[in-house]
Structure 1
Amino acid sequence: MSRPEALQLQLGWDIGGAHVKACLLQGGTLRDIAQWPCPLWQGMEHLAAALGQARSRWSGAWEAGVAHAATMTGEMVDLFEDRAEGVARIAGQLAEVLGPSLRLFDAGGGWRRPGEAGPGWRSIASANWQATARVLAARCGDGVLIDIGSTTTDLIPLRGGRVAAQGASDAERLATGELVYQGVVRTPLCALAPRVPWGGGGVNVMNEFFATTADVYRLTGELAASHDQAGTADGRGKDAQSTRQRLARMVGRDAADASAAEWLALARWWKEAQLREIGTQLARVAADARLPADAPVVGAGCGAFLAADLARRCGRPFLRYAEVALPAGGPDAALADWADVCAPAVSVALLACERE
């Protein structure tokens, strides 16, 4: 790669507690996106491994002149004593691998060098939703971002071209309903409901880590295999029979105790339970922000299919992140799908390009 080509490259990074997401822009145009599993709670070596995979994929993106912009949520994992330590250690490892061009997204509206991560950790920590919302607000005016990922859901109101969230930190957003700690892959099913319908009546569920939401959406056929990257609750396969067995454990049974149709019906009930919870919080957020009734839902994340369902249920238009954030006639369909899934990584890259 020649130096002029390198100077046009901008990488965007979203360092999560379970995945690393990254995208490559060239001359402001999206060229590639990828996501790698990164169970950061098990050790920093997993971040190093994900960065190594990125380097193998984009070997020219470490040359002098290539710019890197990053946001993070991984500081929340219990590997770290507290969030301040998490921000500092993640920033330090990124700087060591990515080089001196790295800038960290600051929710206050600016950018910080890695060496500033310690004193500035509060505005760097878990700010990825701010990057996505800021990109969308500038492009769609009024709306509500629903970013449903593997672990969490962000519900962010947009009013008059600005981010209208009441909360800033995770703690504040949990209080306002703008952060719902549910996703479509890693959420334990026992967190969604204490009791489920079964056999014409009801049954209490087992409060054990026997199954996750990935099992639900794998059975319903809505979770793409490429987004189903987390390990299963029992460490066994992701085939239909193994998935049914995990659901069966939730109600004290085995997969052989019922038909495939009955287990699918139970999976669909779990989906409805999750939609009800997120829908309740969405109504609260929209009302608090006084969103116009016709303000669209902009869906992002590997659970954007749920965002589309929520839009239909509340009578709002539905748009995908990629069609709002990226120019018309931009990436192909496959790349646009990945842009939806990795919206914060794309957003920090776009914001960094706009800064330049």
Structure 2
Amino acid sequence: MLKATPTIAGIDIGGANIKYCQSDGYTLNTVFPLWKKNLALPVILKDILSSKKIDILAITMTGELCDCFESKIEGVKYILNSIPKKQFTPLVWTTNQNFIPLANALKNPTICASSNWMGLASFIAKQQPKNFGLSIDIGSTTTDITAIDQGSPTPHGITDTERLNSGSLVYTGMKRTPLASLLGNKFAHEYFATIADAHLLANNLPEDPNNTDTADGRSFKKTNSARRIAKMLCADQTEIPMSKILSTSQLAIKTQIKWITNALKKHLQRKGKEPKWISVSGSGESLAKMVIKSFIWKTKPTIYSFSKTFGKENSDAACAYSIMKLAGIYHEM
């Protein structure tokens, strides 16, 4: 008698979002500010997992960096201990490119910290040609640039500190980056607006009236985004023309593209060669494509879109989707 195919899930627990994918096609991407609601983490994880009949849960994270934790080790252990005790096998993804049991992860928390990017790169490495390529994943908060060669990730640094120094981690994303960090000293250095407002006005993101995860708590609509960006000029919409608000948005986006492009250039100079292909993923896939378009190439690489291959929801949760797929491969070994 044939064994039933196991249901496998992947979960990526970040500082601002929780992303969850199941092998039966179910995907969830929910806003959860861990740094403010860390005590509620066991509750929301129970809510996510309680009604799901899964056999294997693959776990990765970046939320251990939240300032509600005194150290990354404390953060990793808290996140892992928040996983509900259910009738499934928990497997924790590590920066060593492997899964370990939950009990082992609690004893070795450092290799579990900020491991999600390695899960994505390891999965991409199995999907794409064996020649030199890149994974560019842009989420709501950060950008990960990872080299892949001969079917394996070849990263510049493993920890977030190392990757930040090497340009493999660029701390800017599609939504949460404070606009003040991208503008000069002629603008208010206050949390009045985020890069999401600029991308909305540039038509790079759709309006979402139900989304109030914004700088002022008002909905994610163009009228509100314009008001928020006007405040970056210490003004309201009665004092400055819309053209000034739009030019401020474009300035922030251009700065963001420049940051990521400079990191990409640094990456390729270190490698001494250009990629034959680039995989783009995350909620900022469109931003990744802007970066690639602005870059001066000797030979333009082939672009592989995660959303085109695996679906938009799975691209937004690319790391969770990737470790789910890797857990399936691990289970079959």
The answer for the alignment partner of 2:8 in structure 1 is 10
What is the Cα-based RMSD across aligned positions, in Å? 2.2
Q: How does 1:57-76 map to 2 (within 5 A)?
A: 59-62=51-54, 66-76=55-65
Asked if the contact 1:311/1:317 (under 8 Å) is kept, the reply is no
- In 2: Cα distance, 1:308 partner to 1:81 partner: 37
- 1:262/1:10 CA distance change after superposition, 3 Å: same
> Which residue of 265, 280, 286 corresponds with 2:247?
265
Q: Does 1:212 align with 2:197?
A: no
Closer, same or farther in 2 for the Cα pair 1:38/1:99, shift >3 Å? farther
Contact 1:159-1:291 at 8 Å conserved across structures? no
* AA matched with 1:353: G
Question: Matched residue of 1:168: which SS?
Answer: coil
TM-score by length of 2: 0.90
Aligned with 1:191 (options 181, 185, 188):
181
Shift of 1:52: 4.2
Q: What aligned pairs does 1:161-240 form with structure 2 within 5 A after superposition? A: 161-195=151-185, 204-225=186-207, 231-240=213-222
| Structure 2: distance between partners of 1:305 and 1:98 | 38
Judged with a 3 Å threshold, the aligned counterparts in structure 2 of structure 1 residues 237 and 225 are, in CA distance, closer, same or farther, namely: closer
- Equivalent position of 1:107 in the other structure: 95
Contact 1:84-1:118 within 8 A present in 2 as well: no
Within the candidate set 34, 38, 63, 1:44 is matched to 38
Q: 1:36 to 1:52 in 2, by over 3 A?
A: farther
2:82 is paired with a residue whose SS is: helix
One-letter amino acid matched to 2:303: F
Q: Which residue of 56, 79, 82 maps to 1:93?
A: 82
Q: Does 1:304 align with 2:285?
A: yes
Matched with 1:319 is 304
Unpaired runs of at least 5, structure 2: none
> What is the correspondence of 1:118-129 to structure 2 with a 5 Å cutoff?
118-129=106-117
- When the two structures are superposed, what TM-score results if normalisation uses the length of structure 1? 0.85
Deviation at 1:161, TM superposition (A): 1.3
Show the counterpart of 1:345.
Answer: 320
Distance 1:41 1:98, change over 3 A: farther
Give, in whole Å, the separation in 2 of the partners of 1:79 and 1:205.
30
1:48: Cα distance to partner? 3.3
Query: 2:222 and 2:264 mapped to 1: Cα distance?
Result: 32
1:214 positional shift: 1.1
| Aligned length in residues | 324
C-alpha displacement of 1:260: 2.9
Q: Are 1:274 and 2:256 counterparts?
A: yes
Looking at structure 1, the residues matched to 13 and 210 of structure 2 have their Cα atoms a distance apart, in angstroms, of 18
Deviation at 1:38, TM superposition (A): 0.9
The percent identity for this pair of structures is 28
1:295 alignment partner, one of 276, 279, 289: 276
- Of 259, 265, 286 in structure 1, the residue corresponding to residue 268 of structure 2 is 286
SS at match of 1:217: helix
> Given the superposition, is the C-alpha separation of residues 265 and 149 from structure 1 closer, same or farther in structure 2, using an over 3 Å criterion?
same
Question: 2:58, 2:92 within 8 Å by CA — same for their partners in 1?
Answer: yes
Cα offset, 1:291, TM superposition: 3.7
Greater mean deviation of Cα atoms: 39-48 or 139-148: 39-48
Q: Is the 8 A contact 1:143 1:291 kept in 2?
A: no
How far apart are 1:222 and its partner, in Å? Answer: 1.3
Letter in 2 for 1:170: D
What is the deviation of 1:43? Answer: 2.6
1:57-113: CA deviation from partner (whole Å, max 9, x where unpaired): xx2425xxx11111000111011110001111111111x245551110011132222
Displacement of 1:53 after TM fit? 4.3
**1:139 counterpart = 2:124:** no
Q: Note if contact 2:207-2:220 (Cα within 8 Å) is conserved in structure 1.
A: no
- Give 3-state SS (helix, strand or coil) of 2:196's partner: helix
Distance of 1:228 and 1:217 partners within structure 2: 17
Deviates most, 297-306 or 38-47 = 38-47
1:200 matched residue in structure 2: none
Tell me the secondary structure at the aligned position of residue 318 of structure 1: strand
